Chains A and B, each alone.
Chain A
Amino acid sequence: MADLDSFRADTRAWLEANCPAEMREPVRDESDACWGGRNAKFKSDAQKAWMDRMAARGWTVPDWPTEYGGGGLSPAETKTLRQEMARIGARNPLHSFGISMLGPALLKYGTEEQKKRFLPEIARGEIRWCQGYSEPNAGSDLASLQTKCEDKGDHWLVNGQKVWTSYADKADWIFCLVRTDFSAPKHKGISFILFDMASPGVSTKPILLISGNSPFCETFFDDVQVPKDQVVGEVDKGWDVAKYLLGHEREMISGMGLGGNSGSLGEAFADVVAQDPLLRADIARFDVDALACPAFDDEICRHRAQQAPPRAGHGRRRLERARMGQRPLEEGQGRPRMAAHQGQFDRGRDQRGPARNRRQAHSRTPRSLTHAALPQ
């Protein structure tokens, strides 16, 4: 306990000294977050400095082992760090599917060479990853995926199409589910493969959403050659890796509000709800749910602190989070006055094309719209 107290004191002092003031402001939307990568466009020097300083301590991935670029912190220390970051409103220094999804899978299923090669560059924010899971005919029924991967002796040859690939157009590498055996039952015969998005034969096409944004892409593979050592886990046993990773993806999406916005919708629209008692009642009930959910996040944190693998709880939580995200939409509909007075109630309802200067009521809403409410 004394050790943890001194860790807290040291952490607090270091964060005070090293977290730039600008990085203590809330993230306005996903474009305002730091994603790293080969072509990273930092919004400011402070954003880059914050990522680099945290990465240098291994604190972009505090609970990963130090030999892979992590901080080597215990669950209790990791929690303390997160509490201290939350105390000053410090932003997440690096948003990354490499951290939240691929990393845990590599730590569990990767070879030593794969861990040494890929994990440190994830931790430093040098490589931005995307997830090649869903296909046009493999959404909820993911295991019916058809992207073909043939063993050509000295390399793999990949042909097929993915869809709803988040930020494929901005990603450097992809972790991808492919079919290596077409004769096996559908859950067998799938492999988990990694390759560079700059490889010849890879192309992406952003999907324009009703929000005017394009966070998802169609991704095409046309005779893409992949080195033999880039399959994670055993060939034909990629479904195990995929399932393990999905557990972490659910955890990430369900925990998106963690340590962040615990504000209330009614608070943000106090002037509007003051003029509409029925809307105020709807919003108050919404806020009860919004405030109850973080208590459930605590349960997941405790679960994680005991180092149990992500389980049904995160699926459950994701379900709730998705529902929560949809409700402002439902409540916004049929309430034109709110939209008229406040601009857009939710970005998802804007039909006018690319985002302009819009007030964002609730950070959960656009997130869930872009992630949880859609496949992948």
Chain B
Amino acid sequence: MKNRRFSLVIGILVIALLAVVVVRYVNRGEEAPGEVNLMTWGGDFIPRAIIEEFEKETGIKVNYKEVTSNEDMQSLLEASPDQYDLAVTTDYMVDILRQSDMLAVLDKSKIPNYANINPVYHGAYYDPNDQYSIPYAISISFLLVNPEGVESLGARPITSYGDMWQEELVNNIVLIDWSVEIMGLVLKSLGYEYNETDPVKVAEAREKLFALKPNIKRFETNTPEDSLVNGEAVIGFMYSNQAVKGQQARPNLQPVFPTEGMPIYIDSWVMSKQAPNKDGAYKFLDFIMRPEIAARIADMTKFTSPNKAAEAHLPADFKNNPMLNLADEVVENTSFYIGVDRVLDEYEHIYSEFKLR
């Protein structure tokens, strides 16, 4: 009795698994011509208004798949490389996808507007020969500060990460919730580089990290600016687009570009090696790199554009905003998080211990 029921269950499981395989096989290559499938961050990361204009102009339909992490994009691309044409993904993921042989080499002759990209962004670590990716949106992290709030607590004005350890700031800092980023901040405050592996330096950073705990109000990755807007914190370490939103909501908030240096992230376009509609994808890439289109995208998304030719089309308030139109000396003081995999286990462990304190 028992045995038979068991084999029944196993049989059903096997049939179910086979069904999945068959369904997937049948669904392959069902791509209708004249469609471009892209995937990237949700919200309006690629503004729908711009996509509609492209659809109207070319007759090519664009399907926008929203994902919440680079790793989701990786999984989707691995699971069905022939279902997606384009993705916008963060620098380190471009590196991973490139090394995993998932990406197509881009034919620049089909993208005349590629010439508009600022050469400063050429040859980054994740794509040294600029074969696989085109930068789309640039952001950095820095401190958003409420200067009056800092003063009323009796603390010195904030100019560097080092200033965050002042005793007066107890319970007044909000941070992005990510081990690599926070360890990076501490390492920079000690004068070291991101993703340090030297055990002595890491141990030093660990102690300094623990000393920061009393000053932290909250860890928040998605809307850290809210804590500064509602006044529960006076310093926030966050991404530039978040800081822009925070300052819009509360104009007395000021960006502080820490003297020790800041991280930079470049979200870039990549094409799946098995993209079903490469021609359509090239048309789309060329469209969004038109100077006036790129300028409008930058203004809508509040991300710095790598499109040099777009600068002339940017509205004045974007151009005059130091958080969006990054000064050269700010960009020069930024660096990427390279080699996260070498440090991640160690940093996550330290970060867990830090959280438990």
A binds B: no
Q: Residues of A at under 8 Å CB distance from B? A: none
